[in-house]
Structure 1
């Protein structure tokens, strides 16, 4: 006992050293044993020996599909042993995938979000998991922003050994088969002219009515495959033949075209539009998934070009059964949200462009050639000069630290400039009516000041997509996109029965908006030019409908914004008989003539409607002429007399017809007026929902 008391500290330290050494030795032996056992058998063999969790998925999986994933695996023998943490995450991911078969959409959505948070696994982990994931889960992961793209199985390579000529021949066979199912003169002409050097099984008639534009396209094309995609798009859009592409096993062929034209944006856009047309048939999800297109769509969803990202978002949303029965058909686009979000959309904001416009360029930010205001000074202050950049690269840490501290101090001081200012907004109206209200200024502490500083040095092709979600919450933003023309001479397909009148477009958009679930929540309409006429007529038709579901589109409409809408027509559309005979004006131009009987009737019906439902109306009208570059002279398309609907707030803004819907920054009066309108309606909607919940809670 005395020996222990004398050497107590020595014995304790010795015991700790022995215990620590034993634990270290044990861990070392475990590591060595694991390495020996791991080298005995390649763990990747488990991917083939252990059956997938879903027998039906294994049955649908062909050999080329598995092989294409196996050849991309890293050699496990040469890899470092997996950490315990990664192994645990891998096991957890497998258990989560087992739960994704739940019939409860809410539960499945939560599981997919949790699955998306599992990151930094080994490549063979993801390859194994990709074979367990079913099509519905893949769609959910593709629409989740943080999901690792390695969750998706690689597509099969059915045409990888084909030469270019063999690929063109396969495309010809597909077009011939499609034309057999649904014959069309444009398709027949294209097959005959595009494949003139090849044997075509059936000789088609060279229709004289086929457009000369098509002949020029075929003659000047350097590669026929992109033109084949145009022909496919045209064929699918006319008669709804998109489903036939899948039936005839065309998806793998399209995938091979994508693999060979990955650097060609126009080809990718055409392929994405084709998939968008196919996605209106959700029962084809399995075929789309097995051909590898979900992986490609998930990549396109994150593209910076809105033309590709919005189309991919629409396609994935159509295939997603968690999309609450909303289907986005042709001409209807989702601008926000592109991904699955936690926030609930309580208000729909729908943008409708006008003549010769488009959802992807009508609503772009206006470019400014130079900045000579407060914000340009701010931007200059944030940019380091060449001298400062050289000093920051100096090897002396003291000098570098001094410059950095000075720069930060100056920036903080400069940021305080203007906090006690009241800034006058850009695009201030020069004439208003008595009902008109602001805002006309913005406080220096408002967020729009900071945002406007950034807007001066960035450019957005769609401010509804990039700006509105940041400034207004709980929104679903949709855009309607449709083709228009000035003359009948420019038609690419003379046999196409295009819906061109305002009446026809109203019927078409009404049915498509119903399919997208519009009418179930409050609606705000933002329109430009002819788009306002279509919306007015659409609302009147919805109000007069015998269907209660259709009538909701009108009764739930809370506001409409007109950007230079010619309510009673435009003088520019007035053509003398000889000029009309020469130019052969399109149906759109004929309907937009000043004092048109049809337009006057539409406006009278709209005024009647506003007496039945509380609809807030805001109108912006141009005061400047628009430079028509082709003709080299100025035209004012909409004057104050035609642009004033005689109801609601009215503003005459110093902009031309094209620029009136394109704010240069968030400091524009045009943008701030729209934002304040949306915020007011969202706040009222949220307040009504809160009151409903309180009533239910009391019950």
Structure 2
């Protein structure tokens, strides 16, 4: 999505307010005055600490805010709005904010704006053409706002125009929509990357909400909240988790030192969580009660608690049939994605300690590209020096058969950049593989590769081995063919399965030296020690 300048941020917020106006029968919204700056830096850190404690309840955050400030307990509940579904509507400040939006909406909606800009007069015009469900419109606006929140200057606009409070209201109204709530928390996580906005986020009550969401049984929701809280926690966390980088473990504050990192990179059409779920069961009634939606978070974290486990997400497509912007093609290339992900991972502290990479399909090509780029950049050399091992799940080192069907398959009539780059015997792919093979031999990195022996159904017409065995075999390290298809090659059937146990053994062996090393527990400040005791006593 193209974001030419920050005025679009205000327009997007107003579109969302316009939706709230329709849902609340005449209540309209305007800019909320900046919250009072009563919270000191120390108190802010302590509130975040309570929020990141494993057994925190939202009432603890509200009571703590009341204890350290001059506000009443009832006002502190306004700052933790999930305590009462009507807490925001009952606040005089927020009520006045809601009642002022009419003039701003009328003013900006009367201005010029394109249909697809998520602002100006585009939204009312689109609504006049068809009956678009309000939830769908809100979802579009929130996706646009999430894009805006990736631009630092736009983040200031979101906060200045009352975005934190508006997002809070929508979060409550859409409690039944995980997708909408996920986009909202994603935006808060992006805002939390900027320390000068931390006070506004804390004072607007988001820490209590995030603390509750982090305990959700839904792994995606919980991980979005964990990322946001980690970005807010500047007392015990030095790293910053940018958009698309998720911390699966440890998600709470802990005194146990982290000895190494394990990074998970998905492939084409994959995602940071769904790619790494347990193998699906055809008979859902007989599904194991211990079924996990993300085995690295559930199994690996339990088997190796001293590891930090990260998962990366990026957009990928089979076809450019619905491509929205020509500039997107360059952004989808391996070269661009590799540079972008490497920069994000460096900000997350990858390279500061030993690391093992785990990649599925095209994700393995990204890992290869990132390591080669890092080897040529003095500021990224630590990433190379600390790489101890790589697990490849059906990575098309020599190309994939998927690209061969780009003409015959209707949905691949316009193959995406990603698919084109997977063509067998591609010169660029051959060069990448040759350079990486030389790199591995020079740096003596441990390699474990798995290959698929069963075909995968692509749509209803195509059945093929997406990555042939000869393409999945790098020729270095152990190579293990398995009786699974391309989708299930990275989805163990159970914690006792050969696929998981062999992967676990490789990770432990590659990091054996670090895992055996004794590291003193992290010293805590007096405030952090108090929070740790609170967590243990709850």
Match of 1:611 in 2: 441
Could you tell me how far apart the structure 2 residues matched to 1:503 and 1:175 are? 45
What is the CA distance between 1:360 and its match in structure 2? 1.4
What is the CA distance between 1:324 and its match in structure 2? 3.7
Structure 1 residues 690 and 667, CA gap change in structure 2 (3 angstroms):
same
1:193 aligns with 2:122: yes
What is the CA distance between 1:690 and its match in structure 2? 7.0
SS of residue in 1 equivalent to 2:200 = helix
SS of residue in 2 equivalent to 1:569 = coil
What is the CA distance between 1:294 and its match in structure 2? 0.7
SS of residue in 2 equivalent to 1:196 = helix
What is the CA distance between 1:186 and its match in structure 2? 7.2
1:636 aligns with 2:465: yes
Could you tell me how far apart the structure 1 residues matched to 2:272 and 2:200 are? 30
Q: Select which of 163, 166, 173 maps to 1:250.
A: 163
Deviations 1:227-269 (A, max 9, x none): 3222312333478723320122211111122222223322211
Structure 1 residues 172 and 654, CA gap change in structure 2 (3 angstroms):
farther
Note if contact 1:238-1:496 (Cα within 8 Å) is conserved in structure 2. no
Could you tell me how far apart the structure 2 residues matched to 1:526 and 1:327 are? 21
1:512 aligns with 2:344: yes
Could you tell me how far apart the structure 1 residues matched to 2:370 and 2:320 are? 25
What is the CA distance between 1:167 and its match in structure 2? 6.4
Could you tell me how far apart the structure 1 residues matched to 2:120 and 2:291 are? 42
Could you tell me how far apart the structure 2 residues matched to 1:646 and 1:332 are? 30
What is the CA distance between 1:160 and its match in structure 2? 5.1
Match of 1:650 in 2: 479
Match of 2:494 in 1: 665
Deviations 1:174-194 (A, max 9, x none): 89979x9xx996763554332
Deviations 1:178-218 (A, max 9, x none): 9x9xx99676355433223999xxxxxxxxxxxxxxx99x8
Match of 1:367 in 2: 280
Structure 1 residues 159 and 686, CA gap change in structure 2 (3 angstroms):
same
Structure 1 residues 260 and 219, CA gap change in structure 2 (3 angstroms):
closer
Q: Select which of 459, 464, 467 maps to 2:291.
A: 459
Aligned residue runs from structure 1 range 563-578, under 5 A: 563-574=393-404
Could you tell me how far apart the structure 2 residues matched to 1:457 and 1:524 are? 30
Aligned residue runs from structure 1 range 57-136, under 5 A: 60=37, 101=42, 134-136=43-45
Q: Select which of 278, 303, 316 maps to 2:216.
A: 303
Aligned residue runs from structure 1 range 110-509, under 5 A: 134-153=43-62, 154-155=77-78, 170=101, 173=104, 188=117, 190-196=119-125, 219-221=132-134, 224-237=137-150, 241-369=154-282, 456-492=288-324, 499-509=331-341
Could you tell me how far apart the structure 2 residues matched to 1:175 and 1:144 are? 44
Could you tell me how far apart the structure 2 residues matched to 1:240 and 1:609 are? 39
Q: Select which of 385, 391, 399 maps to 1:555.
A: 385
User: 457-466 vs 263-272, which deviates more?
Assistant: 263-272
SS of residue in 2 equivalent to 1:561 = strand
Could you tell me how far apart the structure 2 residues matched to 1:644 and 1:494 are? 35
SS of residue in 2 equivalent to 1:327 = coil
Q: Which runs of 5+ in 1 are unaligned?
A: 1-57, 63-97, 102-133, 200-214, 377-454, 692-699
What is the CA distance between 1:322 and its match in structure 2? 2.5
Structure 1 residues 606 and 171, CA gap change in structure 2 (3 angstroms):
farther
SS of residue in 2 equivalent to 1:195 = helix
Note if contact 1:314-1:328 (Cα within 8 Å) is conserved in structure 2. yes
Structure 1 residues 577 and 621, CA gap change in structure 2 (3 angstroms):
closer
Could you tell me how far apart the structure 2 residues matched to 1:615 and 1:523 are? 11
TM-score by length of 1: 0.60
SS of residue in 1 equivalent to 2:149 = helix
What is the CA distance between 1:473 and its match in structure 2? 2.7
SS of residue in 2 equivalent to 1:342 = coil
SS of residue in 2 equivalent to 1:611 = helix
CA RMSD of aligned residues (A): 3.6
Could you tell me how far apart the structure 2 residues matched to 1:186 and 1:520 are? 46
Note if contact 1:539-1:553 (Cα within 8 Å) is conserved in structure 2. yes
Structure 1 residues 177 and 242, CA gap change in structure 2 (3 angstroms):
farther
Match of 2:514 in 1: 685
Match of 1:111 in 2: none
Structure 1 residues 175 and 681, CA gap change in structure 2 (3 angstroms):
farther
Q: Which runs of 5+ in 2 are unaligned?
A: 1-34, 63-76, 80-86, 521-538
Note if contact 1:190-1:231 (Cα within 8 Å) is conserved in structure 2. no
Structure 1 residues 626 and 170, CA gap change in structure 2 (3 angstroms):
farther
Could you tell me how far apart the structure 1 residues matched to 2:411 and 2:492 are? 38
Aligned residue runs from structure 1 range 4-43, under 5 A: none
Structure 1 residues 172 and 529, CA gap change in structure 2 (3 angstroms):
farther
Note if contact 1:627-1:634 (Cα within 8 Å) is conserved in structure 2. yes
Note if contact 1:243-1:281 (Cα within 8 Å) is conserved in structure 2. no
Could you tell me how far apart the structure 2 residues matched to 1:500 and 1:168 are? 44
Structure 1 residues 185 and 328, CA gap change in structure 2 (3 angstroms):
farther
What is the CA distance between 1:641 and its match in structure 2? 1.2
